[in-house]
Amino acid sequence: MKNLSTFLGQANVSCIDSHTQFDWIIEYTYEGQREKKRFYFAKNYKIENPFFEELIKRHLINEIKKNDPFDKEFHFESVLVKTQKILDHIRIYRNGEKARPRDDLYIQLNVKLFTHEFVLFDFIFMGYKYILRDIQMPMELYNEFVFRSRPIITFTKDFKVFIAHASEDKKVAKKIANDLTKNGYQVWFDEWEIKVGDSIVDKINKGIKDTAYMIVLFSKNSVDKPWVKKEMNAGLIKELERKKVYILPAKLDQCEIPPLFSDKHYADFIISYKKGIKEIYNAL
């Protein structure tokens, strides 16, 4: 995954009749590259003026409550300048109550698809309905955006799945991970979670702790792998402690499944991938 060297956000606003139009542009460059790229988070988006006034007002109140939430590089000067006259005369909320800090000030991302390349999500701004849908943001920008804006993130499925596999089975493991995310599941997949410099042990331990299920891909490559054995053992302990199914075995070839897991029904990928993934879905 590439690393960003610069990340700059700017909102451009203009009022047209009864509607306010704005662009939200993110400019960024990658380390080792000079070319400046642009991501149009919101392009020519129109919203009715009363709603926009409320959004800006809520945003300003929220910014005052936070400590440098977007970093000095992330600015809304163009928004503030062009809406200052509008904001000056706003004294009450639309429900007639006196303006005051609210508890419902937030940015929410409803994540639909989460892969190692991009994230697809709907966007809620300060408690209002989805104003932007199906935003496909590159993973590097998503990570930076989440870090700077600290939104509330929701997923179609409210639990996460760990995939234990041998490196030789990476291709099929990745296909399973992608298929699960396309169907709304959160997936812990080492290639997506462990970055250069991370502690592998710490990351795996946290992954097992934070997931609701572990899919173990049994194959001739994996049954004797030390790392896979450690993950399986940790998963077995978690299953015994919570007295609830945690490990979901999947068989990729005609390998010998360890005795501790031999009494479990396994997803059969030997007959076909389609059959195996369907059995995984049925178990989740």
Predicted local confidence at residue 14, as pLDDT: 72
Q: What is the CATH number of the domain that holds 218?
A: 3.40.50.10140
Helical H runs in 107-185?
139-149, 170-182
> Residue 275: its pLDDT value, please?
93
Q: pLDDT tens, position by position, for the chain (284 residues)?
A: 678 888 887 767 677 777 777 777 888 888 888 888 888 887 777 777 777 766 666 655 555 445 444 444 444 444 454 444 444 443 333 334 443 434 445 677 888 777 778 888 888 766 555 667 888 998 888 888 877 777 777 776 778 899 999 999 999 999 998 888 777 788 888 888 887 788 888 989 888 988 899 999 999 999 888 989 899 889 989 988 888 899 999 999 999 888 888 888 999 999 999 999 999 999 98
Q: 234 and 132, same structural domain?
A: no
Judgement on whether residues 90 and 213 belong to the same structural domain of the protein: no
Answer yes or no: do 27 and 101 share one domain.
yes
| Cα R_g (the chain), whole angstroms | 24
Q: Are residues 18 and 127 in the same domain?
A: yes
Give the strand pairing for 213-218 and 247-251. Answer: parallel
Domain boundary among 115, 133, 155: 155
Q: How far apart are CA 213 and CA 177, in angstroms?
A: 13
Q: What pLDDT sits at residue 65?
A: 46
**What pLDDT does 250 receive?**
94
User: Domain boundary at 134, 155, 176, which?
Assistant: 155
Q: Give the model's pLDDT for residue 247.
A: 92
Question: 92: which DSSP letter?
Answer: B
Same domain, 188 and 75: no
End-to-end CA, the chain: 29
Q: Is 144 found in the same domain as 59? A: yes
Domain that holds residue 233: 160-283
What is the pTM (predicted TM-score) of this model?
Answer: 0.54
Q: What is the pLDDT of residue 64?
A: 46
Residues 185 and 248 in one domain: yes
How many domains does the chain fold into? Answer: 2
Q: Are strands 152-155 and 130-138 parallel, antiparallel or unpaired?
A: unpaired
Residues 179 and 148 both lie in one domain: no
Are both 14 and 150 inside the same structural domain?
yes
Rounded-to-integer distance, Cα 193 and Cα 206, Å = 11
Among the listed residues 178, 183, 174, 161, the one whose alpha carbon sits nearest the alpha carbon of residue 245: 161
Distance of alpha carbon 232 from alpha carbon 216, whole angstroms = 7
Q: How far apart are CA 13 and CA 137, in angstroms?
A: 22
Count Cβ neighbours within 10 Å for each residue of 156-171 and write b for 16 or more, e otherwise.
ebeebbbbbbbeebee
Q: Are residues 194 and 147 in the same domain?
A: no
Q: Based on the domain organization, do 9 and 146 belong to the same domain?
A: yes
Q: Choose one of 109, 136, 155: the last residue of a domain.
A: 155
Q: Are residues 181 and 64 in the same domain?
A: no
What whole-number distance in Å separates Cα of residue 56 and Cα of residue 230?
Answer: 51
Q: Write down the pLDDT at residue 86.
A: 42
H or E element in which residue 279 lies: helix 273-283
